[in-house]
Amino acid sequence: MLRTSLKLITGALFLGCSVSALAYETETDLVAAKLKATESLKLANYRSSESVKSTLYVKNTNFRFVDNVGFYITDLIVDLKPNDSSQPGIFDDPTSFSLTPVKGTAILDSAKLEALLNKHVFAFKGATLRNIKVKTAKNLLVLAGEMNRKGVWVPFEMKGDLTLSEGHILKYVPWSVVVDKQDATKVLVAANVELDELLTVKTAGANLIGSTVVLDTLKLFPPPKLHLNIATAGLEDRGLVLTFDNEGAGTDSATFIPSDSYILIKGGDTKFMKAVSTNSQLQVMSGNEGSELDFCLYDYRDQLTAGHLELTKEGAILAYFKN
């Protein structure tokens, strides 16, 4: 009895447990088993996921960084990796982690392309383009708006196709250029004048070189940093469609509850607000009944606090975000 009591006290002090919580046990073997089980639970609560990344399985989700800048994701596997391996991926600090799309499809429709160009790429003092409107069709991208020519804003419209190179470079070569309601296409060709002699476009991620607009998708988007290795890029009625087909895609895509629209986060460590999820098991869905998930990274706090959380018996977290 004395040995059992000492073991209880020693175990309780070592594990930080209350002695009274275990005092009802009298058999040494049973107490040892309890202590061992408690110790394993305690260790599981530390940041011991032993994974340098989390895997996101995203389906039928409007994934936005800020405002309407982002993608509509039909089905995509993404790796989330903290920049500091000793820290979790902190959702309140998009600069703390990177995202690597591995396999699947993401779409930038006309509205998202307009938001990207107007509210991010050309949203700076001295920009030479503004009020950009975008239309897409099969093999066609139409850009219209205003361009600055010698301090005067004049309307323009360009039509052309996009080609992909190096897995992240999109090249746009207009075959039609209209400036101030005048067709400049034939004039440019006849005078052997390149488009960059009439217009300067030089921003992070977008440059006009000759008559080719070069878009570097690695630099186009706001944080977090995107590591993009695009398999195909095509223009369709629904927008710019990007596909990814890289090696190493996660395979544990089973949801915790049935859903047709979600962000499923598995493995690694992630931090939302002040809560750290170790070996993350989280399924984010829309709290609006009958609606697909509309997730905004920079505003996720508002969405989360307006929604609610549930726990499964297995310990997974179900987060219902308000759209």
H/E run at residue 44: helix 28-44
For 22-27, the CB contacts below 8 A with 24+ separation are: 26/1
Convert the pLDDT of each residue in 274-314 to its tens digit: 999 899 999 999 999 889 999 999 999 999 999 999 999 99
What distance lies between CA 211 and its chain's CA centroid? Answer: 32
Tokens 């929604």 appear where? Answer: 307
Those residues with Cβ within 8 angstroms of residue 121's Cβ, 6 or more apart along the chain or in another chain: 203, 204, 205, 206, 220
Tens digit of each residue's pLDDT, the chain (323 residues): 333 333 333 343 334 444 444 444 445 666 666 556 655 544 444 555 677 899 999 999 999 999 999 999 999 999 999 999 889 999 999 999 999 999 999 999 999 999 999 999 999 999 999 999 999 999 999 999 999 988 899 999 999 999 999 999 999 999 999 998 888 887 677 666 688 887 888 898 999 999 899 999 999 999 999 999 999 999 999 999 999 999 998 899 999 999 999 999 999 999 999 999 899 999 999 999 889 999 999 999 999 999 999 999 999 999 999 99
DSSP state of 253: -
37 three-state secondary structure: helix
Token pair in block for residue 111? 């509205």
